[in-house]
Amino acid sequence: MNNLNLFVKISGLTLLTFILMSCDQNGLSSSTSEEQLAKRPNILLILADDLGYSDIGAFGSEISTPNLDALAMGGVRMSNFYAAATCSPTRTMLLSGVDSHRAGMGTMEGQQKSNQLGKPGYEGYMNQSVVSVARLLQDIGYHTYMSGKWHLGYEDDQSPKARGFEKSFALLGGGGSHFEVKLRTSRMDNASYRENDQLVDLPDNFYSSEFYADKMIEYLKSDEGDEQPFFGYLTFTAPHWPLQAPDDYIEKYHGRYDDGYNVLKENRLKKMQQLGLVRSGIKTLPSTEPDTLDWNGLSADVKKIRSREMEVYAAMIDNMDHQIGRILEYLDKSGRRENTLIVFMSDNGAQRGSVGNNPRFAQSWIDANFDNSLENMGRKGSYVYYDTHWTEASTGISRLMKGFPSEGGIKVPGIINFPGKLEELNGGISDQFMTVLDLAPTFLELAGTKHPGTTYKGREIFSQIGTSAAPFMNGTSTTIHGVDDTVIWELHNQIGLRSGDWKMLKIQKPNGTGDWELFNLADDPGETNDIQSAHPEQLQKMIKAWDDYVIENGVVLGE
């Protein structure tokens, strides 16, 4: 008999009393009082897709994001917040608190090398060796809702419902048209959408950001009036390509980017410095693109196309912010906002251009199936992405972009808004190092429960390795990670380690040297000056940490 059925059959008990009686099964502390349980926070986790570090106003952007800016001004901007280099590894670690190489996403689904196929941790979906934070929160009485991009498995036993979400509407794959069309990007036919345990079609008026917000509001309204808190996981596909937005949002940015990407990059840097996100004296990095593609060398017609790309990209972020505002408005009107922790982040750094070079989405396929005329760019039936120069403006002063463990690929905008908490930091910036692995342990501790360790309902699982930031949020600690904590990233043989201000990288050619590089981020946030010759002991210490990590996490480098 499950907990819900048992609850219904227990006469005269409140939900909170029943939870207290079930503490051994559910992992609640036996000392947790009914009063503490009544104060368990709602949790709303909002994820943007391929959003660059400086792409919202509170982090230096010219794009209109008043709702996210308000969240930041009423909360804390985390200037040292890290995801993984791409979407699926981030989402796996976010929901499990376990390294992606253990949780099933040692590499992206469909991109396993021959020597990785069949190896534990390289399944290409979130495996059964982990238990999701949604499941653990559901076990202690939380409503659990998910709306948006899933990208953690296509099968019934890999679905949001199977992993602990009571209600969900999910794009199962990695991307799709933001409007309803018959040809999408996720798989070459129709992208797969699932509501709860059923595959579903999209309505004719579908636009991704609006529809995902609609569903989250619908789910939140369904539990109004009961005592149970909620965990909401709202995961937009904006501003992931194909770049598409409603016409009125695109028109709002018409002409905004006609000065080009060099000007935008410098303007963003100045704004970040004014905000205190970047110290004075830091310079922008040179472009990774050929000089022949510099803005001043482009023809007038190409400039129009490049400007429109960025106009649509900005429109997508603006619209996403509007949808977030609708949810905040609902929480305010329903009286739930004051007890809701909201975390906003991007799943990785900004995506570079040249999607058409990917054999999955060949340029010939794009040209044959979409209308990418200037007049139709960003509309239904178009398929465009933005130039790498715009990506470099989005990542700010950081090296490279999505797909790499350099700062441009993994350092993302993070906002924590928790009414009544973090009051000394409200409206400010925290430089505390925090990673996506830390979210699940944080949510569990704030909810008054804990991870079960190495066994869950009779199956062996991996323990969480993230660090709870609950003491930081509750004001009982000013730090999250210790100065010697080491966090490691690997994807597609691109490797990064961070310990305090030390950062070690191995990025394959042509984007890197193919060998180890050592940086000190306090002095060199752009990772431009390899200092390993001056600090050989630090380099060897971090190489040893990498070697241990490979063994502990079953890492299999692709051959």
- In the structure, how many helices (H) and strands (E) does the chain have? 18, 17
At 93, give phi and psi (nearest 5°): -70, -35
Write the CA distances from 473 to 45, 129, 480, integer angstroms.
Answer: 15, 29, 9
State whether residue 25 is helix, strand or coil: helix
pLDDT at 423: 84
Pair of tokens at residue 103: 């949780």
Pair of tokens at residue 76: 């804390």
Q: What does the buried/exposed string (b/e) look like for 144-177 if buried means 16 or more CB atoms within 10 Å of the residue's CB?
A: bbbbbbbbbbbeeebbbbbbbbbbbbbbbbbbbb
- Residue type present at position 231: F
Nearest to 396 by CA among 240, 273, 239, 530: 273
The distance in angstroms from the start CA to the end CA of the chain is: 48
Nearest to 93 by CA among 443, 437, 524, 556: 437
* Rounded Cα distance, 323 and 320, in Å: 5
pLDDT at 361: 61
pLDDT at 38: 61
pLDDT at 227: 86
pLDDT at 15: 40
Class assignment of domain 40-483?
alpha beta
* Rounded Cα distance, 168 and 234, in Å: 10
pLDDT at 32: 45
pLDDT at 291: 82
Pair of tokens at residue 191: 């992208």
| Cβ 185 vs Cβ 198: under 8 Å | no
Characterize the bridge pairing of strands 167-171 and 193-195: antiparallel
pLDDT at 19: 41
Q: Please report the sign of the dihedral spanned by the C-alpha atoms of residue 78, residue 467, residue 100, residue 506.
A: positive
Pair of tokens at residue 314: 């900005």
DSSP code string of 127-155: -TTS--HHHHHHHTT-EEEEEEE--S-SS
At 101, give phi and psi (nearest 5°): -70, -20
pLDDT at 182: 57
Nearest to 180 by CA among 199, 201, 159, 206: 206
Looking up tokens 């050592």, which residue turns up? 518
| Cβ 463 vs Cβ 453: under 8 Å | yes
State whether residue 214 is helix, strand or coil: helix
Catalytically active residues, by annotation: 87, 151
pLDDT at 98: 98
Q: Where do runs of H (alpha helix) occur along 334-385?
A: 363-369
Query: Tens-of-pLDDT digits for all 559 residues of the chain?
Result: 343 333 333 333 334 433 433 444 444 543 444 555 568 999 999 999 999 999 999 999 999 999 999 999 999 999 999 999 999 999 999 999 999 999 999 999 999 999 999 999 999 999 999 999 999 999 999 999 999 999 999 999 999 999 999 999 999 999 889 998 755 444 433 468 999 989 998 999 999 999 999 999 999 999 988 889 999 999 999 999 999 999 999 999 999 999 999 999 999 999 999 999 999 999 999 999 888 888 999 999 999 999 999 999 999 999 999 999 999 999 999 999 999 999 999 999 999 876 554 555 667 778 888 899 999 999 999 999 999 999 999 997 999 999 999 999 999 999 999 999 988 888 999 999 999 999 999 999 999 999 999 999 999 999 999 999 999 999 899 999 998 899 999 999 999 999 999 999 999 999 999 999 999 999 999 999 999 999 999 999 999 999 999 999 999 999 9
E-only strand ranges, 253-349:
340-346
